Amino acid sequence: RFEDLDALHQFTSAVDGAADTDALLEVTLSQTRNLFSARFAEVVLLRGVESIVTSSEGAVPPQRRPAPPALVEALADEIDPARLVTMLDEAPGVIANHYRSRGVNDAMVARMQGDGDAAAMIVVGAPNRSRFDKDDLRLFGTMARQARVAFERGRLVDRLRREMTNKEHQALHDALTGLPNRLHFTIVVEESLRRARESGTRVAVLLIDLDRFKEVNDTLGHERGDVLLQELALRLSEAVGDDHMARLGGDEFGIVLQQVRGIAEVSEWARRIGAILQRPFFNEGLDIQVTGSIGIAMAPDHGTDGATLLRRADVAMYEAKEGGSAFEVYDPQRDRYSTRRLALAGELRAAIEVGALSVQYQPKASLVDGSIVGIEALARWLHPRHGFVPPLEFIELAERTGLIRPLTEHVLRVAFRDRARMSAEGNHLGISVNISASSLNDPDFPDLVARLIGEHDVDPQAVTLEMTETTMMTDSARARLVLRSLDEIGVSLSIDDFGTGYSSLAYLSSLPVDEVKIDRSFVMDMAVDERLAKIVTSTAGLVHSLGLRVVAEGVENRGTWDLLRAAGCDQAQGFFIARPLGYTDLAAWLAAGGRIQGSVGPRLPSGLAGY
């Protein structure tokens, strides 16, 4: 019939235009009811464990509910191809009885087997006219076959959308904690900044990094460490909400606070978070205590874009970690990555390459007779724009930018050259050069030292390499191999800044060390602090018990000199003896006698005042 073809065309167009399964259900129900003038229509969808019935009856909007178990079982049974579309009287008894119990006695039933464990059934009943006939059944069957294709397509679209949603969720969320991840957090920060610009408000970013979390993993295992991170994520999300925080990776979390009034409010948030961290974590009968370091950056105070704000919060977080404080607010004066420092990094490289860094020398004197027994080489950088750049700043910059090796080689080369010049002039002083942790872990470093010693014909026994106590405590196989190789070359090894680290005498006795330098923080005030004087005296005795030489740094007056001599220290270094001198001034000072001349310090050549 022409009317049937037109109705079928309308139905096909409608179901093909449905965007998803939900829309398809509504279209199927409304089209079948309209076409057959029915008061009732229902679609049953069975997909694995999910079985849903969607009904349309009277003027009530479509209703959705779980499918009754009896219908699920009947629909799951193998379907006779000859009975896919039937009148209700010819449908399986379970199905027929179910609808009759609901007052539906005249209905058509179309059952459709899908791929795998998917199945569907369309029931249309209770016509507003005479009973359904064979023409209705034939048209209903054709529509059901069209609907089956549409439902299969809708099922595929739904699956693809779920997969896309899952992948998007995985891309933006942390698998362990379920929190947003770093990518999601950066999006949230940028959106928060956009809103803040529009409303004229402020935004704060807090980065949280757990302290010594590696010890938890190493001691208790990664599984317990993961449980701790999950518990911490739950605590933090309860405090600030999932939408405002993220796990950025490892043991680092981020929080963004919107519409904050100022530093005082953000600091209070940081204290609350610190209190959350300090609450013990109970894990399989263990009471685990952790602490964290928090870095804070605010917009627009510290940056107006997300990348800058995150980086500066990161800088503040590491300042907190290094300083041992619970939290720190970003301070541009302490930013190692400020514009000035980034510029200095490039200029430092150029300065090393062209030899623009100078080397000065600070003498060391024997506490026995005051004679000069050695010099320490000290790198100096006089920048054409910034003036004198503190050694701590450019040495740290060299460490962070990979320039420490060429810097060390430059200082060694200049120091060995000048030592050879002094030797030729009759001054056979020992020379000390500082080396870094990078050098101690560089397997090629001993070869570099040996090559430079050979190039300048320097006696290895006149060379002392100084490294800080913390550097020397690097207990790695590579570091021990480097120390052993340096010892075999014949150079002496010295521990600088002794007393500021955590070395033990037992560990020191196992190293090829010849000298220990007591840090200036103990020496400078020992003349006015009896406690410090006792520490220096006892340290000197212990170091001597290991057969090592004792040098005291930071000697600035006669009283300190006399106390060090009484304490049994071997050598002294400091302004009381001489300030650091360039090679020409050092040679002149040595030629003038280079000895301690009373409480005012050594005799300096003219032109060196205030040097």
User: Which strand (E) or helix (H) includes residue 295?
Assistant: strand 291-299
Quick one: pLDDT at residue 79?
Answer: 62
- Residues 149, 219: one domain? no
Q: What end-to-end distance do the CA atoms of the chain give, in Å?
A: 112
Q: Is residue 27, in this structure, part of any structural domain at all?
A: yes
Paired with 173 in beta bridges are 180
Q: Is residue 495, in this structure, part of any structural domain at all?
A: yes
- Residues 424, 539: one domain? yes
Paired with 47 in beta bridges are 50, 118
Quick one: pLDDT at residue 214?
Answer: 73
Q: Is residue 296, in this structure, part of any structural domain at all?
A: yes
- Residues 48, 122: one domain? yes
Quick one: pLDDT at residue 507?
Answer: 66
> Quick one: which of 37, 38, 16 has its CA closest to 27?
16
Quick one: pLDDT at residue 199?
Answer: 92
Quick one: pLDDT at residue 553?
Answer: 93
Amino acid at 201: T
- Residues 233, 291: one domain? yes
Q: Is residue 186, in this structure, part of any structural domain at all?
A: yes
CATH classification of the domain holding 479: 3.20.20.450
Quick one: pLDDT at residue 167?
Answer: 81
Q: Per-residue b/e over 301-319, b at no fewer than 16 CB within 10 Å?
A: bbbeebeebbbbbbbbbbb
> Quick one: which of 254, 247, 44 has its CA closest to 144?
44
Q: For tokens 């030292």, what's the residue?
A: 449
How many Å apart are CA 172 and CA 187, to the nearest integer? Answer: 10
- Residues 69, 210: one domain? no
Amino acid at 235: R
Residues of the chain where predicted confidence (pLDDT) is lower than 50: 117, 502, 597-611
Quick one: pLDDT at residue 463?
Answer: 97
Non-local CB neighbours of 72 within 8 Å, separated by 6+ positions: 46, 51
- Residues 366, 452: one domain? yes
How many domains is the chain built from? 3
- Residues 111, 164: one domain? yes
Residue at a domain's end among 169, 203, 231: 169
Query: pTM score, two decimals?
Result: 0.51
* Contact criterion met (CB below 8 Å) for 297 and 204: yes
- Residues 416, 549: one domain? yes
- Residues 476, 503: one domain? yes
Residue at a domain's end among 115, 145, 169: 169
Amino acid at 361: Y
* Contact criterion met (CB below 8 Å) for 589 and 578: yes
CATH classification of the domain holding 213: 3.30.70.270
- Residues 136, 69: one domain? yes
* Contact criterion met (CB below 8 Å) for 189 and 245: no
Amino acid at 599: S
Q: Is residue 475, in this structure, part of any structural domain at all?
A: yes
- Residues 138, 284: one domain? no
In eight-state DSSP terms, residue 90 is G
- Residues 425, 312: one domain? no
**DSSP string of 487-536, one letter each residue:** HHHT-EEEEEEETSS---HHHHTTS---EEEE-HHHHTTTTT-HHHHHHH
Name the residue range of residue 14's domain.
2-169
Q: Is residue 347, in this structure, part of any structural domain at all?
A: no
* Contact criterion met (CB below 8 Å) for 555 and 523: yes
Q: Is residue 483, in this structure, part of any structural domain at all?
A: yes
Q: Is residue 312, in this structure, part of any structural domain at all?
A: yes
